[in-house]
Amino acid sequence: MKILAVADRVTSVLLEPALAPVALADVDLIVSCGDLPPEFLARLKARYDVPLLYVLGNHDLRYDASPPLGCRCIDRRLVTHRGLRILGFSGSRWYNGNVNQFTETEMSAFIRRLRLSLWLSRGVDLVVTHAPPRHIHDAEDRCHRGFASFNALIARYRPACLVHGHIHSQFADEAARVTTVNSTRVINSYGYCTFEI
């Protein structure tokens, strides 16, 4: 399955059929890792005519009043798409008390509450988050530290991929987006990227 992941930066070329990169042909699913306007997600959904699943970033303030048409929020939910088990977590580490910010203890509790669902589904294939795991693509300032609970989730359930946003990095080489932890590919989706699973 080919997946288009987007996060943090509106990339208008994705909406232009004549300009879109060849890698975007035959996309089966779109996932948003947060900090994008809901209108952009609705336009992506309409442009590619495939399911779009999303989590919220720490700057996503308008989604309650204006959710993206036809898109599905998967925050703290385990969903299945064409046999692929997908789990989502919104938000960043707590740093100033605004919406979509969580402590490590809170994020650990969110994951714990999903243990039964994960057991019944026999695991998870793709984890979609806004923040990265701790010490993988993250930074040391309070806002951009990753969640250690995501590291524990990777160690316990071994998903094929964890895709995140939040960390604004430029990639001259697309391979630099990916860090492999055990058998899990951790992918920074800043801007956009495609991957197969």
Q: Is the dihedral of CA 112, 113, 119, 125 positive or negative?
A: negative
Alpha-carbon gap, residue 23 to 84, rounded angstroms: 21
What's the rounded mean pLDDT across residues 177-196? Answer: 96
Alpha-carbon gap, residue 181 to 162, rounded angstroms: 10
Per-residue pLDDT at 77: 98
Give the whole-number percent of the chain exceeding pLDDT 70: 98
Structural domains in the chain, sorted by start? 2-196 (3.60.21.10)
| Residue 84 CB-density burial (10 A; 0-12 exposed, 13-18 middle, 19+ buried) | middle
Residue 149: pLDDT over 70: yes
Give the pLDDT band (50/70/90) at residue 4.
very high
Per-residue pLDDT at 19: 64
What's the rounded mean pLDDT across residues 156-177? Answer: 92
Dihedral-angle region of residue 82 (phi above 0 means left; psi in -120 to 50 means alpha; beta otherwise)? left
What's the rounded mean pLDDT across residues 16-25? Answer: 73
Per-residue model confidence as pLDDT tens digits over 116-135: 999 999 999 999 999 999 99
Per-residue pLDDT at 62: 92
What's the rounded mean pLDDT across residues 154-172? Answer: 94
What's the rounded mean pLDDT across residues 155-159? Answer: 97
Whole-number mean pLDDT of the chain? 95
What's the rounded mean pLDDT across residues 98-112? Answer: 97
Residue 21: pLDDT over 90: no
